[in-house]
């Protein structure tokens, strides 16, 4: 139960637009749930509702059995949910180490221990040599790695990655895929949004396909690959 996430009948409207129209799914620790769909399907809105940036109009979100619907981003992070953003949101004028310390500021742990932890995560992400640089000196791909590192600092149970591979060199993509595999194999519940279907199909245990705010198909990779509605949503009929 530790990182199980259960979303039911989630609705989010922006004025007259229904961005999420009854979305539901569940995902388990040690598994990757791939989330696919054309531009504007509602994928990022779904993550924004789960992490508390948006308050859903109705429906529910449970993490490890706890109802977190409508709670603040801070409370939801404390419940063990971490994420990265489609466009990286690093603290540009802070060092990499300081970027990593932000999500653990309120943890009652000795500074030395937090610093060691930050350095170990930066080492894992191959950013250790840049640890005293400002985040805005990093390339776009490196900023994506830094966001992943910052997400991992509080050791979240659920991790949500929004387009981690977009605009990233294939070599770095391979490294990111390995990192995601190690999050999954370490027992985290991974939600992965990507337009890179090859990576989605390689990593995911289950995939949901979204279109116009709805889940139009869900299942194993093979089911989704051959699903007529998914093919039509991507290619037109
Ligand atoms: N803050 C907002 N205010 C108004 N409309 C919004 C807002 N956020 C998202 N939307 C709308 O909700 C719909 C879903 O957007 P969302 O960003 O979730 O799509 P997406 O599936 O992540 O697309 P992409 O693949 O392009 O990132 C779009 O029509 C978008 O314009
Ligand atoms: Mg998006």
Measured in angstroms, how far is the CA atom of residue 86 from the centroid of ligand 2?
6
> For position 185, which CATH number holds?
3.40.50.300
The answer to whether position 224 is within a domain reads yes
Ligand 1 pocket, Cβ-based, cut-off 6 angstroms: 14, 17, 19, 37, 39-45, 86
Measured in angstroms, how far is the CA atom of residue 40 from the centroid of ligand 2?
7
* Structural domain count of the chain: 1
Choosing from 40, 167, 208 the residue with most ligand 1 atoms within 8 A of its CB, the one to mutate for a pocket test is 40
The answer to whether position 126 is within a domain reads no
Q: Which residues of 112-137 are buried (b: 16+ CB within 10 A; e: fewer)?
A: eebeebbbebbeebebeebbeebbee
pLDDT of residue 189 exceeding 80, the answer is yes
Residue 159: strand pairing partners: 82, 190
Measured in angstroms, how far is the CA atom of residue 41 from the centroid of ligand 2?
8
The answer to whether position 56 is within a domain reads yes
Closest-approaching ligand to the CA atom of 210: 1
Closest-approaching ligand to the CA atom of 41: 1
User: Which domain covers residue 182, as residue numbers?
Assistant: 5-88+155-235
pLDDT digits (tens, 9 = 90+) for 19-69: 999 999 999 999 999 999 999 999 999 999 999 999 999 999 999 999 999
What ligand 1 atom has the least distance to the C-alpha of 210? 21
pLDDT score, position 1: 52
The answer to whether position 136 is within a domain reads no
Q: Which residues of 201-219 are buried (b: 16+ CB within 10 A; e: fewer)?
A: bebbebbbbbbbbebbbbe
pLDDT digits (tens, 9 = 90+) for 159-177: 999 999 999 999 999 999 9
pLDDT score, position 139: 93
Measured in angstroms, how far is the CA atom of residue 2 from the centroid of ligand 1?
30
Measured in angstroms, how far is the CA atom of residue 38 from the centroid of ligand 2?
9
pLDDT score, position 18: 98
- The protein residue with its alpha carbon nearest to ligand 1, atom 19, reads 40
Closest-approaching ligand to the CA atom of 39: 1
pLDDT score, position 53: 97
pLDDT of residue 227 exceeding 80, the answer is yes
Percent of the chain with pLDDT over 90: 91
- The protein residue with its alpha carbon nearest to ligand 1, atom 31, reads 40
**Rounded alpha-carbon distances, angstroms, from residue 39 to 2, 63, 69, 209, 215:** 32, 27, 25, 12, 14
pLDDT digits (tens, 9 = 90+) for 112-149: 999 999 999 999 999 999 999 999 999 999 999 999 99
pLDDT score, position 235: 75
The answer to whether position 115 is within a domain reads no
- The protein residue with its alpha carbon nearest to ligand 1, atom 26, reads 39
Closest-approaching ligand to the CA atom of 40: 1
Mean pLDDT of 221-232: 93
The answer to whether position 93 is within a domain reads no
pTM: 0.95
């Amino acid at each position: 139960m530790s990182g199980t996430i259960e979303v039911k009948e989630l609705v989010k409207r922006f004025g007259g637009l229904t961005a999420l129209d009854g979305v539901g799914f569940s995902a388990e620790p040690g598994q990757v749930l791939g989330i696919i769909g054309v531009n504007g399907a509602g994928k990022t809105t779904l993550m924004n509702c789960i992490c508390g940036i948006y308050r859903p109009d109705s429906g529910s979100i449970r993490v490890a059995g706890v109802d977190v619907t409508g709670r603040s981003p801070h409370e939801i992070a404390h419940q063990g949910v971490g994420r990265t953003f489609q466009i990286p949101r690093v603290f540009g004028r802070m060092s990499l180490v300081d970027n990593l310390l932000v999500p653990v500021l309120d943890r009652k742990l000795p500074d030395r221990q937090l610093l060691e932890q930050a350095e170990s995560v930066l080492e894992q992400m191959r950013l250790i040599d840049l640890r005293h640089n400002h985040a805005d000196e990093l390339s776009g791909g490196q900023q994506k790695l830094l966001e992943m590192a910052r997400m991992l600092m509080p050791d979240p149970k659920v991790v949500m990655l929004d387009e981690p591979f977009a605009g990233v060199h294939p070599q770095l993509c391979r490294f990111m895929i390995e990192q995601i595999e190690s999050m999954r194999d370490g027992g985290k519940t991974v939600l992965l949004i990507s337009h890179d279907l090859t990576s989605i199909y390689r990593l995911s245990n289950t995939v949901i396909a979204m279109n116009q705010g709805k889940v139009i198909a869900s299942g194993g990779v093979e089911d989704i690959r051959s699903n007529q509605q998914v093919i039509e949503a991507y290619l037109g009929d």
